[in-house]
Chain A
Amino acid sequence: MVDLELLFHGFATVLSGYHIVALVLGSFFGIIIGAIPGLTATMGIALLVPFTFGMNPFTGIVMLLGIYTGAIYGGGIASILIRTPGTPAAAATVFDGYPLAQKGLAGKAIGMATIASGIGGTFTALCLTFFAPILANFALRFSAPEYFALAVFGLSVTVSLTGKSPLKGIISGCLGLLIAMIGLDPMGGFPRFTFGTTQLTGGFSFVPMLIGLFALSEGFRQVEVILTAPKVSAVLTNIIPRLRELRECTKTFVRSCIIGLIVGITPAIGAETACFVGYSEAKRTSKHPELFGTGILEGVAAPQCAENASTGGDLLPMLTLGLPGDAATAVLMGALTIHNLQPGPLLFRDHSDLVHQIFAGMITANAVFVILGLTFARFFAKVINIDRRFLVPLIFIACMVGSYAIDNDIFDMITCVAFGFVGYVMIRYSYPVSPMVLAQILGVMMESNFRRSMAMSQDHLSILVTRPIAVTILILAAVTTITGIRRQRQALQLEEKLAAEAVAAASRESGQG
């Protein structure tokens, strides 16, 4: 159960001068990252991880939480103003957000998006606060076979991240597993796949690889499209929605909060899926579904609420079990590990005060981005027009210097650039990058716990199928693998269907106008 005294102490810590400044700065930076198309929340977190090294662990974590929640919200700003989602999680906001902007209601749309995001994020932050300790307490019963089964389950759900080609996603994941094996054997201590070099004895450094795969690869993509970035010309007025307008969206908020929580908790699917499911359900249950796509506030509230609602859900398996909820939480996990904090049930047992500070930080982060979003909406709108010819080089230098800063080792910078280029080529030819990263985290967990299980049982595989929790998780993994590909196809079809319906609705509206 949540310890209320520790939680209140957590709030007191978050709201103290140094930490709240870090949170506000992180949130501000996160909204900017989210608002600029092509820059993702994952990229923002990856870019800023090296900057948190010199901070105390909680300050660094709370800054990264600010970036995470701010960036997920910020993607809606570009969706509304230039019909291009700032982040993949805001793709569904385009359907009604841009038509609203075309009607001269861009300010109101952004205001509604801000408040909806805040409601969704706060709801699931509270759910995280109350449910995480219960799950972590249950997970204290886990031993090596259960952790092995969890890792297999996590790997099975990365099938959901394979995009249009499951084969390519599986190749990406398997390569991630092999990359995780480079270095010293975890139990025997002998070198594996090091080619006799000392640099590879410790394997590839995780954070530079993350920065390369998520941030630098995107930088290369931005170089490709640098001349085609659209500009914002809308004027924002009447940003704060009326109470009546908020009341009319009450059912939408409730529905989207629940959708976001369920999607977020499911490992390996996150805000991108939540926004489409939230929008689709709002349309399906509306009394006037034909209005969706023509520019209505409910069409902005639903996806924005669901996408930020998924953030708390994504953190739940990450904090309690060490299973990343999506790519962004995988990077957050890397950041926690760098500060010597291993996510999982032992984090709750040994660092309970810090965990409650994280809960307080997450709840506060949602309030902070609402305040910043409503106050500085016009500034964030202008940020979209930033000259990419200066922004992109800055991204490159931040990635390289950030990677170097970890261990003052040029090999880390080389790792970042090499994986950045590889990541760019992978994305270009439809190989998803997220399975590679998730597999590296889960691969270490899988192999070390498998070996421990074998050591415990003197090489009898039966240990994996005679322990009830482990067997249940392995069965879930098998079911998830089978349904994962079908779920991914359905998500892609839903995305295409909603996009087509939104275009049709907009055409009808302009025809009648």
Chain B
Amino acid sequence: MANLTMKKADIIAAVIVIPICLYVFYESGKWPVPALLGRPFIIPRGVATFLLVTALLLLYRALTGRALELEKRLEGADLRRVTGVAVLTFGYLFIVERIGFFITTFSYMLLFGWVLGERRWFRLVLFAVLVPVVAYALFSTTLHVPLPRGWLESTLRDHGLAFIFR
């Protein structure tokens, strides 16, 4: 994303959108037409046609040098921060249900704050500890919404320590 100009971004967008439109035409052709319930492909194909025309116009404008100006390029420290946060966030999704809410969120908050430039370790650790505790208290206890358990909570519960999580 660092060196992606508006022109390149518009071309990529058109290249992504055009096959989507063609796919809509393809898939809608396989749908059944229930009696007395209208033809289900009319609206999807209408939208896909409109989208296809718009995407082709966008592609044309990009190729003829009429793309908008990009307000600010994403580079250097800004790019590193955004990339770091994106990697951390997607990583959180994959491990939160396996490892559990507490450990994953603690690690996530710690690393997130570090990526954003906080270097005072006491504040970082305190923040990383408080967030999952408060979130757990709010969601699990007050709103009665269970959070992902993972192996830590399951292990503690198996060893008779379920009272911690009430």
Contacts and interface: CB of A to CB of B under 8 A. Distances in A.
Interface of A: 51, 53-54, 164-165, 167-168, 170-171, 174-175, 177-178, 181, 185, 187-188, 190, 192-193, 220, 223-227, 387-390, 392-394, 396-397, 400-401, 404-405, 408, 410, 413-414, 417, 421, 425, 428-431, 443, 446-447, 450-452, 454-455, 458-459
Given A171-B54, A451-B37, A54 B13 contact: no
A428 B97 contact: no
B45 to A, nearest CB: 11
Given A226-B81, A450-B38, A188 B143 contact: no
Contacts of B127: 390, 393
B117 A226 contact: yes
Given A168-B58, A388-B116, A428 B74 contact: yes
A174 B54 contact: yes
User: Dominant SS at the B interface?
Assistant: helix
23 contacts: A167-B57, A171-B17, A171-B51, A171-B55, A175-B51, A177-B47, A178-B47, A185-B40, A187-B38, A188-B37, A190-B32, A193-B24, A225-B78, A401-B147, A404-B147, A413-B93, A417-B90, A429-B9, A431-B13, A443-B47, A451-B37, A451-B40, A454-B38
Contact of B148 (A174, A226, A393, A410): A410
Given A53-B145, A192-B27, A389-B116, A178 B44 contact: yes
B30 to A, nearest CB: 10
B131 A54 contact: no
A387 B118 CA distance: 10
Contacts of A405: 139, 143, 145
B81 A223 contact: yes
B131 to A, nearest CB: 6
Contacts of B44: 178, 181, 192
Contacts of B32: 188, 190
8 cross-chain pairs, A with B, having the tightest CB-CB distances, nearest first: A454-B38, A174-B51, A451-B38, A393-B112, A405-B145, A389-B116, A429-B9, A54-B143
Nearest to A189: B34
Interface string B104-132: 01001100110011100000000100010
Interface string B78-108: 1001100110011011001100000001001
Interface of B: 1, 4, 6, 9-10, 13, 17, 20, 24, 27-28, 31-32, 34, 36-40, 42-44, 47-48, 50-51, 54-55, 57-58, 61, 68, 70, 74, 77-78, 81-82, 85-86, 89-90, 92-93, 96-97, 105, 108-109, 112-113, 116-118, 127, 131, 135, 138-139, 142-148
A430 B38 contact: no
Given A167-B57, A171-B13, A455-B37, 12 more contacts: A53-B143, A165-B68, A177-B47, A187-B34, A187-B38, A188-B32, A224-B81, A392-B112, A405-B139, A429-B6, A429-B10, A450-B42
Contacts of A425: 1
Contacts of A167: 54, 57-58, 61
A410 B92 CA distance: 11
A428 B75 CA distance: 13
A54 B144 contact: yes
A430 to B, nearest CB: 5
Contacts, number: 160
B38 A170 contact: no
A187 B37 contact: yes
Contacts of B81: 223-224, 226
A487 B153 CA distance: 57
B39 A394 contact: no
Nearest to A446: B43
Given A170-B54, A187-B38, A447 B43 contact: yes
Contacts of B36: 455, 458
Nearest to B55: A171
Given A393-B116, A410-B97, A54 B145 contact: yes
B40 to A, nearest CB: 5
A397 B102 CA distance: 12
A165 B17 CA distance: 17
Contacts of A452: 38
B6 A430 contact: yes
Contacts of B117: 226-227, 389
Given A425-B1, A428-B74, A451-B38, A190 B143 contact: no
Contacts of B34: 187-188
A393 B132 CA distance: 12
A404 B113 CA distance: 22
Nearest to A413: B93
A390 B113 contact: yes
B58 A397 contact: no
B6 A396 contact: no
A404 B6 contact: no
Contacts of B58: 167-168, 171
Contacts of B135: 397, 401
B143 A51 contact: yes
Given A165-B68, A428-B74, A393 B51 contact: no
Contacts of B105: 397
Contacts of A51: 138, 143
B131 A393 contact: yes
Most buried by B among A227, A387, A390, A459: A390
A168 B9 CA distance: 12
Contacts of A181: 43-44, 47
A190 B31 contact: yes
A226 B13 contact: no
A190 B34 CA distance: 10
B6 to A, nearest CB: 6
Nearest to A396: B89
A405 B74 CA distance: 33
Given A171-B17, A223-B85, A390-B127, A397 B74 contact: no
Nearest to B86: A421
A159 to B, nearest CB: 12
B38 A455 contact: yes
Contacts of A226: 81, 116-117
